[in-house]
Amino acid sequence: KLKKNISSDLISAYPEFDKIYNKLSKKLNVSSSNIVFTAGSDQAIKNTFELFYKKNKKVITINPTFAMVDIYCKIFKTKQIKIGYDKKLQLKLTDIYRSIDKNTCLIVLANPNSPTGTLIKKSDLIKIINKAKKYNIKVLLDEAYYEFSKYNFLSKIKKFENLIIIRTFSKMFGLAGLRLGYVVSNKNIIKKYFAIKPMYEINSIAVKALELMIDNSKI
The arithmetic mean of pLDDT across residues 72-76, rounded, is 96
The whole-number pLDDT of residue 50 equals: 97
What letters, b where the CB count within 10 A reaches 16 and e where it falls short, cover 26-41?
A: eebebebebbbbbbbb
d(CA 148, CA 196): 31
pTM reported for the whole predicted model: 0.96
Residue 47 near residue 164, CB atoms below 8 Å: no
- Those residues whose C-beta lies under 8 Å from the C-beta of residue 127, and which sit 6 or more positions away, are 97
Per residue in 144-167, pLDDT tens?
Answer: 999 999 899 999 999 999 999 999
For the chain, what is the largest distance between any 2 Cα atoms, rounded to a whole number of angstroms?
A: 56
Residue 9 pLDDT level (bands cut at 50, 70, 90): very high
